[in-house]
Every structure is written in C-alpha cells, then in structure tokens.
Structure 1
Amino acid sequence: MSGRETVFRETSAQPRTESVPFSHLSLELGHLYMEDFVEGPDRLRRHFAAVRPWVEAARAGVGPLPPGRRPRISTCFLVDDYFSRLSTPAELIPPLLAAAAEAGLTIDYLARESGCAVAEPGRRDRVELAEAVLHRLVESPPPGSNGFRPPVSRTGWLTNGRRAPTHRTSPALTGGVWEPPSETGARGHSVFMDVELWSGPADERTWSCAFLAAVWQLVRLGLLRDNGRAVLAPAPWDAKEFPAEWDALPPVVRLNPLAAPFTAYATCSILPARFLPVEHAVRVILDQVHVEADALRQAAERASGEGFDVPAGVVDRTSYVFPPGL
C-alpha cells in the first residue's frame, strides 16, 4: 500500500462555467422610473435628445483596438418594474422605442429591473439573483476593526469604511468623545458611505435600488452564474405587440436581431444626475463582491485574445455619464 487515496468525483459535481459572448462596451441609454413614463412622450423625447451626444462620445471612447478591428457596442435600457407598475409593457415600450428612434438611437436590449431581483420568476428554475449576490459579498474590514460590527447578511447595510462608534468612550453620563467615520483607502479626506441593501424581514425583502443596480452591472459584465449557468440571457423578441403584464415579458429581451452581444467587457451608463448617489453606492457594493474565478478568467482571456485591455477590478470596468438637464 502506498498510502495514497484515490478520490472519485462525479462530473456533474463540478459544473462547467458557461461562457457568454462579449461586446467591447455595453452602453445603457437610460433607466427611468414609472413616474417618468407617466409624464408622456415629451419626457421621453427630452431624455433621448439629451442622451444622443453622449452616445457618440462613448462610442468614440472605445479602444484602442488592433488595426482593422471595429468596436462591438450594444445598447440597453432598464425599466423599473420592481418598485412600481403604473403602466404595462404594451403601453410603455412602443412610445419608448419611438422616442429613441426619433433621436436616431436604437435600443438593442430592454431589461426589467425585477429580473435583477429574481430571474425567471414564473419558472421552476427561477434564480434568486439578488440573494445570490448578497451571499457573495465579502466585506472589506476597515483598519483597526475588532469584529464588533454585525455582518452585512444580518444588518443589510454595507459600508466603505469604519462607522462612527455607537458606544460612549467615556463613563460619564454626558459628553463623551466623538469619533468620525472614515473611508477605507481615503485620499486625504474621507467620503464615507453606508449603503442599505434591503428593507423588511428576511423572507419579504425589498431590495434597494442601489443593490439591484449592482446586480445589473454584474449581469451586463457577464460575471454572474447560477451553478455554472449564465443568468439573464437575452430572449429574442419578434412579436408585433408587447404583453399586457410585465411577468409575461422575459427579464431581458433582444429587440434588435443584429445587435452585438448583450454582455460586454466594460459598461457605460448614461443616467440622470439623480442617480449619482445610487451609482456611488453601486461602486461600493461592486468593490466587495466576490466574483467566480472562472467567469473572470473567461472575460480576461477573451479580451486578451482580441488585444483589448480589461481592468482587473470589476468596479473599474464601469463608467458613467450624468448629462446636465437629463
């Protein structure tokens, strides 16, 4: 006997990480609330008229690419059907597409925000997508921390540094020494942020806009898997009419059959300025998500094969434009 043990493993116990196609850039043309759509077609026209110049700038900014290579760029639009449903797909989507076309823009992919919470809710193989990302959060401990703070899985709050102490540092009933919060890795001065990921009890969570937007970024970057399977793969849509119920529409639909791939090496989102604090929170979240190594490797190898530089950090693959007056 050599003392060695032979280990047998079922092939099915090691799920293969499904690969996804990549564009060079996923360009988000907007993310509006239901209340914005209620304002009517003029609101949509103003939105896309303001977005148009920045689309051209984002397209021009892709690269550099090897000689003879043209950038693959897909466009997408996220509709908030999670926090409210004041309108139906049949009522909302046609004027949205018409307003974009009037500005000379094409929406390749349309996504529902509720899909970032639960993918395929009406199917047996539904994926609790937000819950899965929550379990992948690895909090960055601030310098000098002692483990007193409860984990994010229990509190629902994620921070980018050290919170101000909640206990008195003096035994006196009045006074005490106040200590400010501090940002981990701050440059000179702190910009401290505490992000709420959900509200409500664990079995009835309402996910925050910031957390769903972080899931949305990970989906667009092609970095999420469910037991090795890609999630929120776009479904082709060639029907002449849209359904009367949001749940009858796939979480992500491909409206343009000639579109470049939905997932991309990098993302750029053109959003109203009111989303700036939300997207700051998104970056705090993305900086603390543990992404599957195989998914990262696939993106890195594919980009390297094309001579396209992809930052190592997930958060560095995202960019934003907040046009004035949008």
Structure 2
Amino acid sequence: MTPVHATFGEVAAERRIASVPLSHVSVELGHLYMEDFEAGPDRLREQFRRVAPWLATVRSLWRERVPGGRARVSTCFLVDDYFSRFSTPAELVPMILEAAAEHDLTIDYLARESACAQSEGVELARLVEDRLVDDPPPDTDGSRPPVKETGWLCNGSRSPRTAPVQAMGKARPWEPPAQNAKRGHSIFVDVELWDEKGPRRTWSCPFLAAVWQLLRLGLLRSDGRVPLPPVALDGGWPRNWDELPAVVRLDPQAAPFSAYTTLSVLSPRFLPVELAVRTILSQVAVDDEVLRQVAGRSEGEGVRLEEELVDRISYVFV
C-alpha cells in the first residue's frame, strides 16, 4: 500500500501580504476641482504660495523627529476627474507643475480621484466599503439598518423618527442626536457614502477622500497586493484622463508615495469634507497584518506612531 502524506496548515498562515515602501510623511500640496481650473493659473499660484512655508516647516520638524535627521518626505497632488471631466492632462498638468515651480515646490506624485473609486481593475472604494464596521450607539435596538444597506454612516445615534400619534396615544417627545464618544457635548456627524441611480453607484467626495488617505498611508491591499503602485509616465501627457495612470511618479528620485503619516494643506472649504473623512476612517477595520507591518517598520526606525488611524492624519487649512 502506498502511504499518503497530508499537510495541514492555517489559511491565514498561507497569506502573503505585500509590503509597501514608506516615507515618514506624505504632504498633499493641493486638490484641484473644476472651479479651480476655470479660475486660471492665478488660483493655483495662490494655493502654492500659501503651501510653500508649511512644506518647509514639515521638512524641518521631521528632520528633528527622525534619528539622524534623514526624513523621507514626499509630496502629492490630487485632480478631480471623477465628478467632472475638465480639460486634459496634456493641458492641465504642465500648468500645475509650472505654478508649483514658481514657488520652489516639487510635486512628486500626481493622482486621479477617479482611481479612488476604480482603476486598472481594482475597485478601491469597494475594498474600503467591505471593511466598514458599524459603530452602534449604546442601547441600540436594531431598528437602524446597517451602513452597507443605507449608504449612510454616523458617529452616534440619530434623532428618532416621529410618526403620527394614534387616537389616545402618547406622543413621543423629540430627542436630539448624540455622539458616541462625546466630550461634554455632542458633535454629531452623518455622512452619505454613496447614492445609486439605477445600476450606477456614485461614491461621495468624503468617501473617496477616505480611500485617498488610506492609499497614502499604505494601508490598502487587494488580494494581498499593493493596489495602484505609482508608475512613471511613458511618453508625453495624454489627452484623455483614462489614459493617465492612477498615480504618476513625477520625480524618479522622490521618497515613497505612501507614508507613516499624512499632512494635507487645503482650502478651508474642505474642512467639512475632512471631518466626514475622519468619521469614516474611525469605522474602517484595516487588515491586522498590514498594521503589524507598518508598526514593526516604524519601531525599527525609532518613529512612534499613534494607535488610532485618524491620529496619523493632519491638516493645515489656509
């Protein structure tokens, strides 16, 4: 009789989670929408004029923080090609780079916002949706549908609906919404993640911005692989946004695109969006193995990272 040899192993042990190169901080130098483009180069010049001092400050602070002063700082710029298609890469990108250069700024990476929804066969938005974990308020009775059914996510308990009172019935008094982890008083946030018209789903700006932050933090994986790694452009700028890679490496000598922490220098008009982003990210469960990878590497470099994901993200509103 021929002996049978069987090998048993945990599925988790067979997983291969790719690692990603990491800078110490990824600095977003701007975020371009159609109205910014329509305002012309002067709008971009003003943005970069305000950004320049902050980038210099970030570089200085990280040199002091990192042992040996060898801080890895990368810069990026995001163009909205999801909610509106305007101009072309061939016309727009040179204008952005020239405006930045006037203030001695170098953009290392250029990204398309539509890639945060789907690009190159990878549905990043769906990956993040699958990792949403409901944060039910105390004494939840199950009457609120889960976020994956409604497309709405909040940080506490909504005001209960009021319904017509039957004859001789007792009216239910109005109750205010309440934040789960409030400090004294509530700051209640209710965020729409997507809407659907027929078969088409449109992701909201805050949800795509949350995906963008996770991408910059190097915390997303698709079947264990790093999604949408930056690539150098082969040839000139295309005349169609779909022909432009999701994340373009502009400087071949740049520090890695993803980083332990992120800083975004934005107009104050983005403040409500980023509040929604932080609300979303507080309910995203990142893969444990990916978190261990990042933690192990940061500890090896003597860089202490905050436990909470949202505390690794910072902003300057100018």
Per the normalisation by structure 2, the TM-score is: 0.93
**What is the aligned partner in structure 2 of residue 304 from structure 1?**
299
Shift of 1:238: 5.3
Counterpart AA for 2:83 = F
CA distance in 1, matches of 2:80, 2:170: 47
Q: Tell me which residue corresponds to 1:19.
A: 19
Aligned 8 A contact 2:89 2:238 in 1: yes
Cα distance change of structure 1 residues 94 and 72 upon mapping to structure 2, 3 Å threshold: same
2:94 maps to what in 1? 94
Greater Cα shift, 48-57 or 20-29: 48-57
SS of the residue 1:100 aligns to: helix
What's the CA shift for 1:297? 0.7
1:65 offset after TM fit, Å?
3.4
Q: Does 1:228 align with 2:194?
A: no
Q: Tell me the SS of whatever aligns to 2:91.
A: helix
Matches within 5 A, 1:52-131: 52-62=52-62, 64-120=64-120, 126-131=121-126
1:130–1:215 Cα contact (<8 Å) kept = yes
Q: What's the offset of the Cα at 1:138?
A: 0.1
1:198 has 2:194 as partner:
yes
| Conserved? CA contact 1:238–1:255, under 8 Å | no
Matched residue, 1:314: 309
Please state if 1:142 is matched with 2:154: no
Question: 1:42-69: CA deviations, max 9, x gaps?
Answer: 1111111111122122223326535423
> Is 1:289–2:284 an aligned residue pair?
yes
SS in 1 for 2:69: coil
Superposition deviation, residue 11 in structure 1: 8.0
- Equivalenced residues, count: 312
Tell me, yes or no, if the aligned pair for 1:63 and 1:308 is still in contact at 8 Å.
Answer: no
Q: Which residue is 1:123 aligned to?
A: none
Unpaired runs of 5+ residues, structure 1, are: 1-5, 121-125
SS at match of 2:270: helix
Please state if 1:262 is matched with 2:257.
Answer: yes
Describe the SS at the equivalent of 1:8: coil
SS of 2:199's equivalent in the other structure is helix
Distance 1:54 1:67 in 2: 22
SS of residue in 2 equivalent to 1:320: strand
Among the aligned pairs, what percent are the same residue? 59
4+ runs deviating over 4 angstroms: 9-13, 168-175
Structure 2 counterpart of 1:38: 38
Q: 1:188 is matched with which residue?
A: 184
CA 1:161–1:64 in structure 2 vs 1: closer, same or farther (change >3 Å)? Answer: farther
Letter of the 2:292 counterpart: R
**Superposition deviation, residue 9 in structure 1:** 5.3
Is residue 273 of structure 1 aligned with residue 257 of structure 2? no
**Given that residues 62 and 69 in structure 2 are in contact (C-alpha distance below 8 angstroms), is that contact kept between their aligned partners in structure 1?**
no
Could you say what the CA RMSD is over the residues aligned between the two structures, in angstroms?
2.1
**Which 5+ residue runs of structure 2 have no aligned equivalent?**
1-5
